[in-house]
Amino acid sequence: MSNPAPFDPVRDAPLLSAYVDGELEPADVARVEAHLRQDAEARAEVERLRAFNRLAAGLQLREAPAEDWEKFWESAYNRAERSVGWILFGAGLLVAGAYGLWLVAAAVFGSALPMLVKAAVMAVATGLLVLLLSVVRERVFTKRRTRYDDIVR
């Protein structure tokens, strides 16, 4: 069995916390205890950690009132429901828009209209689709990022 490496106060500092919590292997316990016998600053740190553990052990979380739990679950359900709705709406809008664009393209390019008129009809149809998607996207992202949702007058 080889001699363990000497305790390095910078590298091995997390071992002090693990020592206080009783989570070290016997070899590391021996290294830390040997270091504590020689280093007063490390002993003071261990005492600070023990005092913190005693303080933290005395803390208890307060149970949330039933009304808060009801609000939480209601809002979680609403968010999930609306997310599914938006996904379905977006997918349907995408499919309907692509089909509409295909119909317009088939009607325009299948006819004897001049090329300039065909290009203008396609530009109008594409522009309407882009504007619709832009408005929907802006409404969704603006709603998520508004800073004044929580203000009550």
pLDDT > 90 in the chain, percent: 9
Computed over every residue of the chain, the mean pLDDT equals 82
Determine if residue 58 is left, alpha or beta; phi over 0 gives left, psi from -120 to 50 gives alpha, anything else beta: alpha
User: Residue 83 pLDDT > 80, yes or no?
Assistant: yes
- What local confidence, expressed as pLDDT, does residue 152 receive? 63
User: Residue 142 pLDDT > 80, yes or no?
Assistant: no
Contact yes or no for 68/44 (Cβ under 8 A): no
Q: Quick one: pLDDT band at residue 82, thresholds 50, 70, 90?
A: confident
Q: What span, in angstroms and rounded, lies between the C-alpha atoms of 104 and 112?
A: 14
Which burial class, exposed, middle or buried, applies to 21 when counting CB atoms under 10 A from its CB (0-12, 13-18, 19+)?
exposed
- What local confidence, expressed as pLDDT, does residue 48 receive? 93
What pLDDT, in 10s, does the model give residues 42-61? 899 999 999 999 998 888 88
- What local confidence, expressed as pLDDT, does residue 151 receive? 61
> Is the pTM here over 0.95, yes or no?
no
User: Residue 18 pLDDT > 80, yes or no?
Assistant: yes
Q: How far is CA 68 from CA 79, 144, 149, in A?
A: 16, 22, 19
15-19, 24-28, 74-78 — which is least confidently predicted?
Answer: 74-78
Q: What six digits make up the tokens of 5?
A: 């490496």
Q: Quick one: pLDDT band at residue 70, thresholds 50, 70, 90?
A: confident
Q: How far is CA 19 from CA 8, 90, 94, 111, in A?
A: 15, 55, 60, 84
Mean pLDDT is highest, among 20-29, 114-123, 133-142, for 20-29
Q: How far is CA 94 from the centre of its chain?
A: 27
- What local confidence, expressed as pLDDT, does residue 51 receive? 94
Q: What is the average pLDDT across 32-45?
A: 90
